Structure 1
């Protein structure tokens, strides 16, 4: 546990070395530094995890950060079970993505290669700071850090205007959510006189009314909606595909998008005391899961399918948080990190083999060219679809069981989303790997990726298969849910305040599992039969709507972007140029004209000067006489 404060310093050191020496380091040296610091951080994270598993937790107060009057905000780290789990996921999956990047980005010049790894290291540092912070201010610093790094990485190829626009879109939409987070922090300071988790949670429930806690938690939810891409702040995430594929894996799997889940899980006691906020979290998550799943069904860009899949899976995590399944939501964060990183890196392997072609309509039959990529991506598809005993089955089943206990409607809609997930993921699988190859082999020569790319795929495939075994429900094994036991100290305090629901019997759970798995298998078979030999015809009707993502971007453009641009244009042309500019220029012109006229008085004629003196004396006498009267 004593090594914990050094964990975020390692990727920070990697960022400084690669950033400052980017013109001097070779690609090999850059890759070793960038990946090595994350590997060492992962080793230290294992030590911290072992200490947390033994029941240890610790607060490290490093120095006094902000002190204004009675307000004292230290720069502190809180390392407990929740932190330890996220440390493992961030550094473990992050290391595999770094290794993968050494091969994927090899075509970049030395300087740009080093810049890329510097950004990756800074991203990991910011995420570690976010999850290790002992108060909401330190969390917010890391929160802003990952937002900045996402902007830098999404717009990594900055000479492409479209990519720059995607980066700016991500930055602006995250700032909208961040405002809610920031206001919530100020409200906490006013209510509790502190931002430290330990100080705030010990004052609950006595120091704040339900209305105040509802306000604070809803504002925190706004921040989480921006960072974790929930309705209505989700449209930046699919556009984030503009960045390199390993960046997509890092943003979508192990780091940035899980920040909102972490924040709500960390604030579980406040949410448990604000039931209205819990309901909002569940509804937002469920709506997002369904909306994104419908869009993913009709996307042809392989990365766009995975992007909307991420949005949908994040919706499941929010549903879990909203129905009180805090452990289930965190469990799904972990399993999702495994299979979604695998799927993104697998997609990167396909894109690499197809010379950066991302349209699945030009794929097909790749399993004979790319056996390792094919097999590992199949494992990822089975995991995300929820087929037992893959990892996604256990985490998704736990969320759906809690959803049924809270409200059967939640369960039905959640199951519908799971069925769509199975369909669009095996549509992706069939269009990519099955049937005949659909592009010109004289121009494309598909081939398996190098070991630096396939080894991380194999490791993630293993984790996607066995990762769920740490959360085996009591239905299968007594005391088999080791993660629930591990995280019990974090969520124990909120259990007494959560709404009480009648637990399901084992027979009911068996029935639900049989129905869900049976329907998922049906969807998989339908997708494979439909797309292994053919592709969709040109979309019409509802299909066209889904292909165009429900026209949400166009709606935002119409009701938000264009009016704001029109207002900005009005202020630019009317207020700025016709008003302020004319006023400023008018003052200058007036002074210039008046000075030219006054200059004429300087004629050099002594008689004229005497006349002006006499006139001035007369006027002065009249003025003095007038004042005396």
Structure 2
């Protein structure tokens, strides 16, 4: 079965080809069968391959697909590489991706671009699978750019609205900044280590380079730049909230199972390089801690239900970066796995609420939906409990493990992580108390179809029980931590942090013991609220430093000075041609005289010299 690994990304790619070429001529049920069925086939095959791998020796398996280049004795093959890390990512991308596809079949049923939507989303899944399966950095980069293309197409899917097109371009351009850094890093690694094969590359790096020297630091920093863009971490995080312009299933797929996890996967896959660059690895932890706090504060004051979840994603990816930065590689991937479950659940539950409110996003125009939409309510309760890391949920096991590992490395970063857990508890249950409790608001629909209900039920079960699905990664990563915090103060404080956030949310948004509006209405607090609401002014800063200067330069150069150079060259060529052509008179005597005169001049020059 494992020999069929190449078909895992091929199934959704074939679905993309069918839908993009013939989708307009197919009926909606057939479109759904192709779009959802291709990912279902991929998920089933990935499950069988994963089961065979985990029940066997768990030795890495390499499938050679072909040869990039073969010249004399130089041969550069490419293929797929399967190990415990790859299996984890396959389960996330295909499993959660399949449930999102099923949900999308119902959510997008009335959309005129039904076939185009499934074509784009299948391409997106296929590219992500190529990224995680690649055995070399060139193939990984191909999948990396394919994910970028897919995100652009999906975020701007409703392109009739100019704002959606702007959000798509913003995501594309900001992630290209990181992609450029990644590409330079690939060139650096190849020129110094003479291979793109990831496993061989890591082996040569550890044997040929000295830890902390310039080359590993530069290479790791460039790879980190690429990871920051795709995973929406400071300073390249502001594209992700605007990516909510896409349909809700797209938001769920980008935030839970695919694009934003690509940066985490890249760092984890090249962890040997980051171990050799301690300063860069510490920067990963610092960026993660800073980002999780900034994004958490922004989520506290948002009013759009999807933007709250978007900032929550940025914050949770920050926890993964924090774990990677202290060397808790397995904990980071474990949180990536559980986050996929509860974040997909939250986004799809939010989509159900939006669907029943006729695409209303403002949480303060909702309320009292606890009884009208029980499935969405319990989905949010389970998802928010896991997001906040309340005990006995999947998020508790992964986030608790991260924070204990962080304490062993840096108590200061642990304190930042605990503060982030408190903030997470506040904004998660603020959303629930505002939307599902309080004043009752009428809904246009109270029920959703089975295509939207079944994925919510299954993801709810995974969000609760997913902590038991941890795949052992000891064969991939070194074991650096052996936690012994079972009943000590650190473990207790870590476990209690989300309860503090929950209590604050109860006092402000359920019992109304304190007034959030009154607290935020004072001068300084209001300014802070606006500041956090606008994403800490990152977009305004980039607008002032990059966007407006670039537009001014473009306006001054509207006639394109560079083109002027080529116009001048063409003009000189035409003038020169006209002068030379004037000498072509067709008179033989004139030609003979010119040749004789030229010969005399050349002889004279030779004689005089």
CA 1:366–1:17 in structure 2 vs 1: closer, same or farther (change >3 Å)?
same
Quick one: structure 1 residues 379 and 502, their matched pair in 2 at CA, closer, same or farther if it must change by over 3 Å? closer
**Which runs of 5 or more structure 1 residues have no equivalent in the other structure?**
472-482, 603-612
Aligned counterpart for 2:262 among listed residues 259, 262, 280: 259
CA contact (8 A) 1:389 1:465 kept: yes
Confirm or deny: 8 A CA contact 1:373 1:448 kept in the other structure: no
- Could you tell me how far apart the structure 2 residues matched to 1:502 and 1:121 are? 41
Structure 1 residue matching 2:477: 3-state secondary structure: helix
Instruction: Report the equivalent of 1:460.
Output: 459
Is it true that 1:567 corresponds to 2:566 in the alignment? no
Contact 2:425 2:499 in 1 (8 A): no
2:406 maps to 1:420: no
Alpha-carbon spacing, 1:593–1:264, altered in 2? closer, same or farther (3 Å) = closer
* Aligned counterpart, 1:74: 77
Deviation at 1:516, TM superposition (A): 2.3
SS at match of 1:203: helix
For the pair 1:507 / 2:502, whether they are aligned, the reply is no
Q: Please give the alpha-carbon distance, in whole angstroms, between the structure 2 residues aligned to 1:319 and 1:533.
A: 33
| 8 Å contact from structure 1 (residues 406, 501) kept in 2 | no
Q: Which position in structure 2 is the counterpart of 1:406?
A: 409
Alpha-carbon distance in 2 for matches of 1:255, 1:52: 22
Secondary structure, counterpart of 1:59 in structure 2: strand
Which position in structure 1 is the counterpart of 2:123?
122
Match for residue 522 of structure 1 among 492, 496, 503: 503
Residue 425 of structure 1, CA deviation? 1.1
**1:318-397 equivalent positions in 2, closer than 5 A:** 318-397=321-400
Structure 1 residues 535 and 19: CA distance shift in structure 2, 3 A: farther
Instruction: Provide the C-alpha distance between the structure 1 equivalents of 2:455 and 2:371, rounded to a whole number of angstroms.
Output: 20
Partners of 1:558 and 1:76 in 2: how far apart? Answer: 45
SS, match of residue 21 in structure 1: helix
Give the match for residue 66 of structure 2: 63
Equivalent in the alignment of 1:157: 158
Alpha-carbon offset, residue 532 of structure 1: 11
The reply on whether 1:489 has 2:475 as its aligned counterpart is yes
C-alpha distance in 2 between matches for 1:81 and 1:542: 44
Q: Which residue number corresponds to residue 35 of structure 2? A: 34
CA distance in 2, matches of 1:141, 1:17: 21
* 1:216 paired to 2:216: no
Separation in structure 2 between the aligned mates of residue 67 and residue 244 of structure 1, nearest angstrom: 44
- Residue 214 of structure 1 and its aligned partner are, at CA, apart by 1.7
Preserved CA contact (<8 Å) 2:429 2:502: no
* CA shift for structure 1 position 213: 1.6
Distance 1:169 1:517, change over 3 A: closer
Structure 2 CA distance for aligned equivalents of residues 69 and 230 of structure 1? 44
Root-mean-square deviation (CA, aligned residues, Å) is: 3.0
Distance of aligned partners of 1:527 and 1:82 in 2 relative to their CA distance in 1, 3 Å threshold = farther
Q: 3-state SS of the aligned residue for 1:66?
A: strand
3-state SS of 1:92 partner: helix
Query: What do residues 504-542 of structure 1 show as CA deviations (whole Å, max 9, x unaligned)?
Result: 464245433454254244234235426799874786221
1:540-584 deviation per Cα after TM superposition (whole angstroms, max 9, x unaligned): 22112122222211110010111112222222247368x559857
Structure 1 residue aligned with 2:536: 550
> CA–CA distance in 1 between the matches of 2:574 and 2:217?
58
* Number of aligned residues: 586
- Unaligned ranges ≥5, structure 2: none
Aligned counterparts of 2:93 and 2:533: Cα–Cα separation in 1: 33
Distance 1:402 1:388 in 2: 18
- After superposition, the Cα gap between the structure-2 partners of 1:46 and 1:502, relative to the gap in structure 1 and judged at 3 Å, is closer
- Alignment partners' CA distance in 2, 1:559 and 1:69: 51
Instruction: State how 1:134-213 maps to structure 2 within 5 Å.
Output: 134-210=135-211, 211=213, 212-213=215-216
Quick one: distance in 1 between partners of 2:140 and 2:373? Answer: 42
Q: Distance in 2 between matches of 1:175 and 1:69?
A: 36
Q: Structure 1, residues 303-341: CA drift from partner, whole Å, max 9, x if none? A: 111111101100010001001111110011011000100
Bigger Rg, structure 1 or 2: 1
Deviation at 1:7, TM superposition (A): 0.9
Q: Supply the distance in 1 between the matched residues of 2:40 and 2:178 (Cα, whole angstroms).
A: 32
Distance 1:446 1:527 in 2: 29
Who is 1:477 aligned against? none
CA deviations 1:416-465 (Å, max 9, x no partner) are 11111111111111111111135xx4xx5241211111111111011001
